[in-house]
Amino acid sequence: MKRREFFALGAALGGGPWPATGAEHPRKDPPRGGTTLALDGERQFWREAAHYQKLPESRVECRLCPRRCQVADQENGWCGVRLNERGTYYTTVFGRPVTIANDPIEKKPLFHYKPGSLTLSLATAGCNFECLFCQNWEISQFRPEQIPARYGFVSPEDLVELAKRQGSRSLSFTYAEPVVFFEYALATARASKAAGLPGVMISNGFIESAPMDELLQELGAVKIDFKAFDDKFYQRQCRGTLEPVLRTMERIRKAGVWLELVHLTVPTLNDDAEQAKRLCGWVLEKLGPDVPVHFTRFHPTYKLKNLPATPPATLERQYDIARKAGLRYAYLGNLPGHEGENTRCHGCRETLIRRVGFTVLENRLREGKCPKCGEKIPGVWS
């Protein structure tokens, strides 16, 4: 795609080929096979990877995520987007987004970060988890060469330019897993920060500390999918582990970068009250009461189609647990129109922001404060 065509495409982002509302996923029909690029075409997206160690016999050890893949020559890492070629490790997705959309920031979801604004959102192929309930598995669980490079090479500067033209107020790395396109996300976050557009990371948090610290210097906000307070859940349902995710959340908080959490509540797997109490207790103790926690509704998908959607009553119970635990900002997600989507003052319980789905109906905040009691509401509001 030529540069001019790429920016022309941007005119459609608001409501064109990508849904502006709906679930947090890009197009559901990415073609598989058919028009991928030839070998030389794919190489334009290769950059030497950051955070890896060379080993004897042309092997490498990836130090980007806690998986620490040891990768032989010509093999991919577990994520599918990092490749060892003759002892040099490459990211194969630099400048290779597979989806771009201009979303409401509420779709991420981030409720205390520039509410009502648009965020230019992008993803490459690949993920370092395999959640059985992944909504975006059609990009997260495929390798880049299996998904057509519909935009050609898109530089970080191109994305910033597109975001400006679209009226976006931030730039989000989302849909699949930004950890695995670390180099592209970092370069884009730097370029967008310089242009006054903060970068936003929507992640599983399964990343080593050193690369996370690099990202945190450039980002304006992070949303972490806190999938369960249960290591077995992480192992069995996501093929990951819990401890590195906890560590990441603490680092984000210490760095002073705005943080929100999402807990996708899956019936029978992570919906019991005791676990919700432990999760909320940990958040309160380690992250503080001001970190918003979104309890969102599961819908059957990918490899988890044998379970029903989460009953609203289950989510309401988790909401109550969070409030009783002392968390000031609990929300319910994927329940459009529910009272649990609204922001209420933690001091006087006045409704401050009314939402339906990803749309902000009313924002009564005055310079980040409650108009009734004057309480300062935590978040980034402008």
Partner 1 sequence: MGAGCLRKVPMDRRKFLQTLGLASAAAGLSSAGAACARSAAQKPAGDGRSRVALVTDPGVRRGEEIDAKRVERLLRATLEKALGSANLAGVLPADEVVGIKLNCLAGRPLSPALPLVEALIKILSDAGIPRERVIVFERGERDLRRGGFTPGEHDGVRYLGNDSAGAGYEEEPEISGQLGSCLSRILTRRIGAMINLGVLKDHSLAGLGAGTKNLYGLIHNPNKYHDNGCDPYLADLLAMPVVQKRLCLTILDGLTAQCHGGPGFSPAHAWSYNSLLASRDVIALDRVAWDVIEERRKQTGLPPLERENRAPRWLRTAASRGLGTDEMIRILVLREVLS
13, 24, 49, 80: which one binds partner 1 (CB under 8 A)? 80
What is the closest distance, in whole angstroms, from the C-beta atom of residue 132 to partner 1 in the complex? 8
Q: How far apart are CA 108 and CA 125, in angstroms?
A: 18
What is the closest distance, in whole angstroms, from the C-beta atom of residue 119 to partner 1 in the complex? 29
Nearer to partner 1, 268 or 306 (CB): 306
302, 342, 351, 368: which one binds partner 1 (CB under 8 A)? 302
Question: Is residue 73 within the footprint of partner 1 (CB under 8 A)?
Answer: yes
Question: Is residue 351 within the footprint of partner 1 (CB under 8 A)?
Answer: no
What is the closest distance, in whole angstroms, from the C-beta atom of residue 104 to partner 1 in the complex? 29
- Where do the H-state alpha helices sit in 91-155? 137-140
Question: Is residue 306 within the footprint of partner 1 (CB under 8 A)?
Answer: no
Q: How far apart are CA 295 and CA 330, in angstroms?
A: 7
Nearer to partner 1, 36 or 342 (CB): 36
Q: How far apart are CA 59 and CA 43, in angstroms?
A: 20
Q: How far apart are CA 203 and CA 91, in angstroms?
A: 18
Question: Is residue 235 within the footprint of partner 1 (CB under 8 A)?
Answer: no
Name the residue with tokens 């329940």: 335
Question: Is residue 79 within the footprint of partner 1 (CB under 8 A)?
Answer: yes
- Which residue from 137, 160, 134 is spatially nearest to 147, judged by alpha carbons? 137
Q: Where does this chain touch partner 1 (CB under 8 A) — which range of 33-41, 106-114, 285-293, 362-370?
A: 33-41
Question: Is residue 72 within the footprint of partner 1 (CB under 8 A)?
Answer: yes
What is the closest distance, in whole angstroms, from the C-beta atom of residue 2 to partner 1 in the complex? 23
Query: Which residues make Cβ contacts (< 8 Å) with residue 22, sequence separation at least 6?
Result: none
What are the tokens at 25? 């996923």
Provide the edge-to-edge strand list for the sheet that holds 82-85: 47-48, 88-91, 82-85
Question: Is residue 113 within the footprint of partner 1 (CB under 8 A)?
Answer: no
Question: Is residue 39 within the footprint of partner 1 (CB under 8 A)?
Answer: yes
3, 11, 16, 32: which one binds partner 1 (CB under 8 A)? 32
| Angle ∠(57,59,64) on CA atoms, nearest 5 | 160
What is the closest distance, in whole angstroms, from the C-beta atom of residue 348 to partner 1 in the complex? 50
Nearer to partner 1, 99 or 188 (CB): 99
Q: Which of residues 128-147 bind partner 1 (CB under 8 A)?
A: 130, 141-143, 145-146
Question: Is residue 194 within the footprint of partner 1 (CB under 8 A)?
Answer: no
Nearer to partner 1, 133 or 295 (CB): 133
For 108, what's the count of Cα atoms within 13 Å in the CB-facing half-sphere?
A: 39
38, 196, 256, 367: which one binds partner 1 (CB under 8 A)? 38
15, 23, 74, 382: which one binds partner 1 (CB under 8 A)? 74
Q: Where does this chain touch partner 1 (CB under 8 A) — which range of 13-21, 77-85, 191-199, 277-285?
A: 77-85
Name the residue with tokens 């630099």: 94
Q: Where does this chain touch partner 1 (CB under 8 A) — which range of 66-74, 101-109, 221-229, 313-321?
A: 66-74
Question: Is residue 58 within the footprint of partner 1 (CB under 8 A)?
Answer: yes
- Where do the H-state alpha helices sit in the chain? 3-10, 39-43, 137-140, 156-166, 182-194, 209-216, 231-233, 243-255, 273-282, 312-325
Query: Which residues make Cβ contacts (< 8 Å) with residue 107, sequence separation at least 6?
Result: 21, 24, 121, 358
Q: How far apart are CA 47 and CA 187, in angstroms?
A: 12
Question: Is residue 26 within the footprint of partner 1 (CB under 8 A)?
Answer: no
Q: How many residues bind partner 1 (CB under 8 A)?
A: 33
Q: Can you count the helices (H) and strands (E) in the chain?
A: 10, 17
What is the closest distance, in whole angstroms, from the C-beta atom of residue 75 to partner 1 in the complex? 7
Query: Which residues make Cβ contacts (< 8 Å) with residue 252, sequence separation at least 6?
Result: 212, 216, 222, 224, 259
Convert 118-135 to b/e letters by CB count within 10 Å (16 or more is b).
bbbbbbbbbbbbbbbbbb
Binding residues (CB under 8 A) for partner 1: these are 31-36, 38-39, 42, 57-59, 70, 72-80, 84, 86, 130, 141-143, 145-146, 239, 302-303
